[in-house]
């Protein structure tokens, strides 16, 4: 094989496997729910800014239902890292715990919105951001 052909072959193999990894990564049901969560979070935050707490409460309900769906999924990273057996079980349990903690925070947010407790709403927004950081740091593949 000449040098040019070799380089072309290596390039095409690495590019196609990269494209495959990326395709599989953002085509999961979980990434679909996450995209919905992102959109709903943005809408909820504009409802709060415009003082429409009732609309925000509805959005928090929707967010909870997306997290409940996300809870039944397995992060792509676990299969990409070929986790199996007890390792997979432990990681799955940790993932479920972070989702459950996030749902608890969302329920607190719902109460704070209903009682018009603005400082508490702000604090809980910060906590949700923290859960996002934690969840992505631990369970989101780099793709």
Q: Which of 26, 52, 117, 127 binds ligand HEM (CB under 6 A)?
A: 26
Extract the tokens encoding 19. 């494209």
| CA 38 from centroid of its chain's CA atoms | 8
Q: Total binding residues for ligand HEM by CB under 6 A?
A: 24
The two three-digit tokens of residue 53, written as one number: 């707490």
Region 45-104 residues binding ligand HEM, contact defined as CB under 6 A: 75-77, 95, 98-99, 102
Interface with ligand HEM in residues 108-127 (CB under 6 A): none
DSSP conformational letter for 50: T
Residue of this chain nearest to ligand HEM (CB atom): 135
Which residues of this chain interact with ligand HEM, rule CB under 6 A? 26, 28, 30-31, 34-35, 37-38, 41, 75-77, 95, 98-99, 102, 128, 131-132, 135-136, 139-141
């Amino acid at each position: 094989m000449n040098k040019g052909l070799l380089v072309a072959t290596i390039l095409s193999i690495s590019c196609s496997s990269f494209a495959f990894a990326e395709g599989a990564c953002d085509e999961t049901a979980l990434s679909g729910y996450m995209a919905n969560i992102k959109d709903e979070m943005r809408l909820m935050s504009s409802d709060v800014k415009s003082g429409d707490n009732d609309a925000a409460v509805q959005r928090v309900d929707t967010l909870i239902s997306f997290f409940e769906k996300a809870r039944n999924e397995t992060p792509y990273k676990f299969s990409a890292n070929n986790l199996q057996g007890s390792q997979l079980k432990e990681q799955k349990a940790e993932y479920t715990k972070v989702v459950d903690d996030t749902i608890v925070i969302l329920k607190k947010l719902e109460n704070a919105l209903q009682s018009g407790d603005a400082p508490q709403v702000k604090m809980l927004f910060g906590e949700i951001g923290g859960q996002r950081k934690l969840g992505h740091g631990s369970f989101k593949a780099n793709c």
